Amino acid sequence: MMICMAPRNRRRRDVLPPEAIELIADRFRILGEPIRIRILQELESGERNVSELVAAVGSSQPNVSKHLRILQESGVVGRRQEGNNVYYAIADPAVIDLCDAVCSSVRDRLASAVKLAAEMGRR
């Protein structure tokens, strides 16, 4: 998904119409559930079936299936059926880039907080 913002080295951002802003907000809402992030982490290394995802994320089958449906309906995840098994995979690789950017930002923020706490502890 393209957020339609200017590159980091430019200050001006394009003005987005309300409809586009709503679509962007919907994408962030979809990614706002921790179990969905865990599912995406598992799918990042390749496709998985529901049973594998249930074991990996530590939730119930109905709960994982519900979140997979939401991810699929949003276009983030795709599915394919092979016999009785349904396999899920990431359909929109941009979602991984988005998660990586957020993780990097959170990691930097935590590192700064740890550094500040260490400096205050020395005083």
> What are the pLDDT digits (tens) for 45-82?
999 999 999 999 999 999 999 999 999 999 999 999 99
Quick check: is 11 in a domain?
Answer: no
Beta bridge pairs of residue 86: 81
Quick check: is 23 in a domain?
Answer: yes
Quick check: is 38 in a domain?
Answer: yes
Quick check: is 28 in a domain?
Answer: yes
- Domain extent, residue 49, equals 18-92
Quick check: is 117 in a domain?
Answer: no
Quick check: is 98 in a domain?
Answer: no
* More reliable by pLDDT, 123 or 81: 81
**Number of domain units in the chain:** 1
d(CA 112, CA 78): 37
> What pTM was estimated for this model as a whole?
0.75
Q: Quick one: pLDDT at residue 5? A: 47
Q: Quick one: pLDDT at residue 118? A: 81
Whether 6 shows a pLDDT value over 50: the answer reads: no
Q: Quick one: pLDDT at residue 2? A: 42
Give the CATH number, domain containing residue 30. Answer: 1.10.10.10
Residues 73-113: tens digit of each pLDDT: 999 999 999 999 999 999 999 998 887 787 787 788 888 88
Q: How confident is the model at residue 8 (pLDDT cuts 50, 70, 90)?
A: low
Quick check: is 88 in a domain?
Answer: yes
Quick check: is 58 in a domain?
Answer: yes
Query: In the chain, what is the straight-line distance between the N-terminal and C-terminal CA atoms, in Å?
Result: 46
